[in-house]
């Protein structure tokens, strides 16, 4: 069955997050799939292929997003161990705070209070994490972080056995 995840992230007055699939807000997940399997199933535009990751372009709510699949193991038998949806933000403290709070509110509405809630967000330089465990066992983290000096909001999903 093809991996079907629809995720909408929108940044206007803030970032709101909604997603749907056949089973729940996020999923089903194809943990353990090889890179070849993901490449065959994924319908988005492949931006970059590295030895241990695939990055796809995604148009969500009319804006560009990235979906990154991360693999472990030796080629060609690597197995999918993580998915990351992310969107870069401007280095504007109020926009970073709005984006993180809006995404946190949506995930809290769907999954309840985070098991590890983040501290209040005040600027783009913070490294914030909120953590949930999905009913299917996956670990879900909402992130406010920086990559190469650029702030981003991300949604990291890993299997239950992955630290």
| Cα 122 from Cα 154, distance rounded (Å) | 17
Mean of the per-residue pLDDT values of the chain: 78
Percent of the chain having pLDDT more than 70?
A: 77
Q: What is the pLDDT of residue 123?
A: 85
Indicate whether 141 pLDDT > 90.
Answer: yes
Q: What is the pLDDT of residue 37?
A: 94
Task: Measure the CA dihedral 114/119/122/124, to 10°.
Answer: -70
Q: What is the pLDDT of residue 35?
A: 94
Indicate whether 12 pLDDT > 70.
Answer: no
| Cα 57 from Cα 42, distance rounded (Å) | 11
Confidence band of 56 (pLDDT split at 50, 70, 90) = very high
């Amino acid at each position: 069955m093809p991996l079907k995840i629809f995720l909408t992230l929108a940044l206007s007055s803030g970032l709101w997050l909604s997603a749907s699939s056949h089973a729940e807000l996020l999923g089903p997940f194809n943990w353990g799939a090889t890179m070849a399997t993901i490449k065959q199933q994924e319908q988005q535009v492949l931006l970059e292929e590295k030895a241990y990751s695939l990055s796809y372009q995604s148009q969500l709510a009319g804006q560009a997003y990235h979906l990154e699949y991360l693999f472990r193991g030796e080629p060609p038998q690597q197995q999918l161990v993580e998915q990351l949806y992310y969107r870069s933000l401007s280095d504007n403290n109020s926009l970073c705070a709005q984006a993180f709070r809006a995404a946190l509110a949506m995930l809290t509405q769907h999954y309840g209070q985070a098991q590890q809630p983040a501290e209040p967000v005040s600027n783009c330089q913070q490294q914030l994490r909120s953590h949930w465990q999905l009913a299917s066992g996956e670990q879900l983290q909402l992130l406010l972080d920086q990559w190469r000096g650029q702030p981003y909001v991300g949604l990291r999903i890993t299997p239950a056995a992955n630290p």
